Amino acid sequence: MKFFEFFSFTDPNIRYVVVGSILMTVCSAVVGCFTFLRKRALIGDAVAHSVLPGVCLSFLLTGEKNPFILLIGAFITGGLSIFLVEYITTKTKLKEDSAIGIVLSVFFGIGILLLTAIQHGGNANQSGLDSFLFGKAASILPEDLYSFGLVGIILLIGVFFFFKEFTLISFDRNFAEAIGLPVKILEFMLTSITVLAVVTGIQAVGVVLMAAMLITPAAAARYWTHNLTIMMLVAAMMGAVSGIFGAYISYLAPSMPTGPWIVMVISMIAIVSFAFAPVKGVFARLRKQIKNQKQITDENILKLFFQLGEKDQDFFTARSITSLLERRSMRKDLLKNGLARLTDQGFLSKTKDHWKFTEAGKVKGQRVARLHRLWELYLTQYLQLAPDHVHDDAETIEHIITPELEAKILEQLKYPEVDPHDTKIPYKDF
């Protein structure tokens, strides 16, 4: 029942929380795509941790928890952290990862020191500052929503209008510079937008896990598409889903911390993407690998039948596994599987424990042998390689050459008779 209560959105509090969570997660997911592509994912982590001392300092200076004032403090120290990481990296022999680690841990240490000092200081106003640590999506108030909504909208508008420029500096900074874009200003803008996104998102997931809201949706979305616009939309959607879910969890169980649940959901989405995304996912890639492996085995077996046929001057002799292995060493189980597959596909026919070519099988075996020999000849003629150095390369390329490429090679070599080892190159009308 709680499910309908929540998802009917009749309760205004639920509306605030849901809108707030979506806004925060979407903003960071969109900006995260740029930081991801610029390979600066962990900078977001440094910014997130560095926001804490800024928040504490603005509270110490003003004595109140006005979200705008806290935001300004957060923005200043967050921005400072990016500057410092770059400064340390350029001025010393320390590498970027060390610089990030230094800035992150020291700023966070200062933040914790200030936060605990404020807590022990007895200012009654301070309660709730610590929600910056783990996020508080569940207790978003209308006034929070206005300030963060404004920041979020500024941010999204900025990304919308400078989409092309940001994309260019993310992918090819040198090119952007060469065509005369103001790269420094654009980078500064992108950095400011990143800081803004972090400062907003922190309200939802907290300092420690903010990095996930920048990195994880972008990383997951990257597995589904090559197009940056689509990647951004996908990342934003994934972010939104995790935001809604986080809000729902904290509605069901108020004692649950919202931030970690949001991160948990987005991480699950990412893990599923890494594993199952078509083309780029681990399983898709594995399947492709196995398919290629099978194709190579099959073609090698057909080539083997053809070579044995050449030797015996008879292409249609039935051959046993042992006689095949005498000519070419292969793993026996792979050979058996390959033979079974080829028989199924009609390239070989089987009688008892012997296999022999069919007409189609001979044509295919002949083609593989031809490609091998053509490539060997090509390498010796055009790359001046010694004839005893070309076999291994031909062994690989024979499975890859397309009919179009074959025609081109034939033309260039002027339909040669023999390969570098003086073996005849077999043609179709052989």
Partner 1 sequence: MSSFWIILTGALVAVTCSLLGCYLILRRMAMVGDAISHAVLPGIVLAFLISGSRQTIPMLLGAGILGILTTFLIEFLHKKARLQEDASIGVTFTWLFALGVILISVFANKVDIDQECVLYGEIAYVPLNVWITDTGTNLGPQAIWIMGSILVLVLIMIFTSYKELLVTTFDPSYAAAIGFSTALWHYILMSMVSLATVASFESVGAILVVAFLIVPAATAYLLTDRFELMLVLAAVFGILSSVLGYLLASQIDGSIAGAMATMTGLIFVLAFIFSPRYGILRKKNEADKTGMIIEESKV
- Interaction between residue 259 and partner 1 (CB under 8 A): yes
Shortest CB 133 distance to partner 1, Å: 6
Question: How far apart are CB 39 and partner 1 at their closest, in Å?
Answer: 6
Nearest to 281, CA basis, from 294, 292, 268, 271: 271
CA distance 284 to 22: 31
Least gap, CB of 259 to partner 1 (angstroms): 7
Rounded Cα gap, residues 32 and 44, in angstroms: 8
DSSP state of 420: T
Encoding tokens for residue 215?
């990195």
Query: Of these, 13, 62, 116, 125, which contacts partner 1 (CB under 8 A)?
Result: 116
Span from 13-21, 105-113, 317-325, 341-349 in contact with partner 1 (CB under 8 A): 105-113
- Nearest to partner 1 of 100, 247 (CB atom): 100
Least separation in angstroms between residue 29's CB and partner 1 is: 13
Least separation in angstroms between residue 380's CB and partner 1 is: 33
Nearer to partner 1, 43 or 74 (CB): 43
Verify binding: residue 426, partner 1, rule CB under 8 A: no
**Nearer to partner 1 (CB atom), residue 134 or residue 162:** 134
Is residue 243 at the binding interface for partner 1, with CB under 8 A as the rule? no
3-state per-residue secondary structure call for 296-359: HHHHHHHHHHHHHHHHHCCCCCCEEHHHHHHHCCCCHHHHHHHHHHHHHHCCEEEECCEEEECH
The answer to whether residue 60 forms part of the interface with partner 1 (CB under 8 A) is no
Mask: binding to partner 1, 210-239, rule CB under 8 A, as x and -?
-xx-xxx-xx--------------------
d(CA 359, CA 362): 5
Up-side HSE of residue 184: CA atoms within 13 Å toward CB? 1
Q: At what angle do helices 210-222 and 228-252 cross, to 10 degrees?
A: 130
Other beta carbons within 10 angstroms of residue 168's beta carbon come to: 18
Kindly list the distances between the CA atom of residue 217 and the CA atoms of 25, 260, 262, in Å, as whole numbers in the listed order. 9, 15, 11
Interface with partner 1, residue 100, by CB under 8 A:
yes
Q: Which stretch binds partner 1 (CB under 8 A): 106-114, 144-152, 291-299, 354-362?
A: 106-114
Least distance between partner 1 and beta carbon 221 (Å): 12
255 near partner 1 (CB under 8 A): yes
Closest-CA residue to 146 (of 200, 198, 190): 200
Q: Is 281 in the site for partner 1 (CB under 8 A)?
A: yes
Decide whether 284 or 318 has the Cβ nearer to partner 1. Answer: 284
> How far is residue 339 CA from its own chain's centroid?
38
The 10 Å CB-count burial string (b at 16+, else e) for 213-226 is bbbbbbbbbbbbbe
Query: For residues 19-58, which are near partner 1 according to CB under 8 A?
Result: 36, 39-42, 44-45, 49
Rank residues 213 and 401 by Cβ distance to partner 1 and give the closer one. 213
Bridge partners (DSSP) listed for residue 371: none
Query: CB-wise, 261 or 306, nearer to partner 1?
Result: 261
* 405 binding partner 1? (CB under 8 A): no
Residue 217 CB, shortest distance to partner 1, in Å, is 10
d(CA 28, CA 214): 5
Place of tokens 């400064």: 87
Q: Decide whether 52 or 195 has the Cβ nearer to partner 1.
A: 52
For the record, the structure tokens of 410 come out as: 């034939």
Residue 113 interacts with partner 1 (CB under 8 A)? yes
DSSP secondary structure code for residue 385 in this structure: -
Tell me the closest approach of the beta carbon of residue 404 to partner 1, in angstroms.
Answer: 29
Could you give the CA distance from residue 254 to residue 209 in angstroms, rounded to a whole number?
19
Instruction: Tell which one of 26, 208, 394, 397 touches partner 1 (CB under 8 A).
Output: 208
* By CB under 8 A, residue 167 contacts partner 1: no
Contact between 123 and partner 1 by CB under 8 A: the answer reads no
How far is the C-alpha of 240 from the C-alpha of 53, rounded, in Å? 28
Among the listed residues 430, 269, 288, the one whose alpha carbon sits nearest the alpha carbon of residue 359:
430
CB atoms within 10 A of CB 77: 25
Q: Is there binding between residue 134 and partner 1 (CB under 8 A)?
A: yes
- Tell me which residues touch partner 1 (CB under 8 A): 36, 39-42, 44-45, 49, 88, 91-95, 97-98, 100-102, 104-117, 120-121, 130, 133-134, 208-209, 211-212, 214-216, 218-219, 255-257, 259-261, 263-264, 267, 270-271, 274-275, 280-282, 285
